[in-house]
Amino acid sequence: MRKATLIIKNAAQVLTCRSDDPQTVDLLADAYVAIEGKRIVSVGRMRDLAGAVDTAGAAEIDATGRVVLPGFVDCHTHFVFGGSRVEEYVARLSDNDTESLRRRGIPVGIRVTVDATRNLPYETLSRQAEQRLREMLLSGTTTVESKSGYGFTTESELKMLRINRDLESLYPVEIASTFLGAHGWPADTSKADYMRLLKEEMFPAVAAAGLAEFCDIWCDEGYYTADECRELLRVGESLGMRPRIHAEAYSWIGGSDVAAEMRMSSSDHLNYTPRETLKRLAHADVVGVLLPMIDFAVRHPHPFDPIPMLEAELPLALATNCCPGCWCTSMPLTIALACREHGMSVECAIKAATRGGAQALARLDRIGTLEPGKQADIQIWSVSRYEDIAYRIGSPITETVLKAGVVSVSQGNVISGKGR
């Protein structure tokens, strides 16, 4: 019999999320989670606890009337960025024409953020990102992916990735770093010249510094073609970075087909992905990462539709896409929008925000579900039914968060890894 050091007991519902069925959260009623050190040793019904685990001397968390589930895995964000684009965002509420905004003298687009990110000192940029990371933790996120991509110079891209590394040492949130140097290219440089810089200098510098687990690229009309994506991502892959791709956000030019061909970790957005390509992604075990907050923020003309994806048996993940054009740090709000605006079931959305995110980040062997042997990344909600995540739209129901078996949030306050 395994000995536990911490017991979460009397939970109204424990959502294990252990199966690959997207339409169930694998619920146990009147249940417990037993933890030894950093790992889960047992999950089951309260009536079976005494015969399953040695609880002598174990600390206890009473989860009476509460929901217990895995910590969120926010697998697509750009939360390290400088400045704000609030002027552009508010202007677009009544005038969504980019040229009209420029004529009015309103700065627009990614290059506004590039200028701000390049110009901010490391410490200032880090503190801005830290506040967003703190908000993510408070809403139940225990693992987050964070991309560079607002620098377009070797120095600036490395600065963003170093902030990821340093923030992970300050907060009990695991950060998966992604090099997204190919988020565009500088206004004063041709795409061909910038691609050469990426291949000959930027990718090698990031790899030499050991700062990125993944590499990513924006495949869309006006950005990088499918062939260019293949060429650049193969460079990153040869240097030890797992490839991912922004695909079909505003057009279909073959990005997800390259994702299937290269068996990437994920293909993200998928607003215009054809059904046959969805089947190819599923066959290649690529995770489809869906981003309801950006569709909402930009009033997307073609919001993603999860139904064909589920019919293709494509594994799905949900993420906030926290970025200057979509300033959202809340996975609960992301889930609520996925359900209301995109027709996802509550079960499917929760599964995508936990198990699916872990799969997209190649971490399903250790996080994303509540099972013996998995890391104890757990959140507790102050409600008795999991459906409230969709019903209480954006409400702060995350009461307790554990990272690797240690309580990091209690009663809505960060109590470990408090930052600077």
- CA–CA separation, 351 and 16 (whole Å): 9
Give the closest residue to 281 by CA, choosing from 320, 242, 305, 310.
310
Domains and CATH numbers, the chain: 2-71+369-414 (2.30.40.10), 79-360 (3.20.20.140)
Give the closest residue to 138 by CA, choosing from 333, 341, 342.
333
Alpha helices in 216-366 (DSSP H): 226-238, 255-262, 275-283, 292-297, 306-311, 331-342, 346-351, 357-360
Paired tokens of 379: 């959140």
| pTM, two decimal places | 0.96
**In the prediction, which pLDDT does 5 show?**
97
pLDDT in tens, 91-115: 899 888 888 989 998 888 888 899 9
Bridge partners (DSSP) listed for residue 245: 267
Q: Which amino acid is at 208?
A: A
- CA–CA separation, 384 and 13 (whole Å): 7
**Segments of the chain with pLDDT less than 70:** 417-420
**In the prediction, which pLDDT does 419 show?**
54
- CA–CA separation, 323 and 328 (whole Å): 7
Give the closest residue to 140 by CA, choosing from 342, 401, 318.
401
Q: Which amino acid is at 275?
A: R
**CB–CB of 336/394 below 8 Å?**
yes
Determine how many CB atoms are found less than 10 A away from the CB of residue 44: 18
- CA–CA separation, 200 and 89 (whole Å): 36
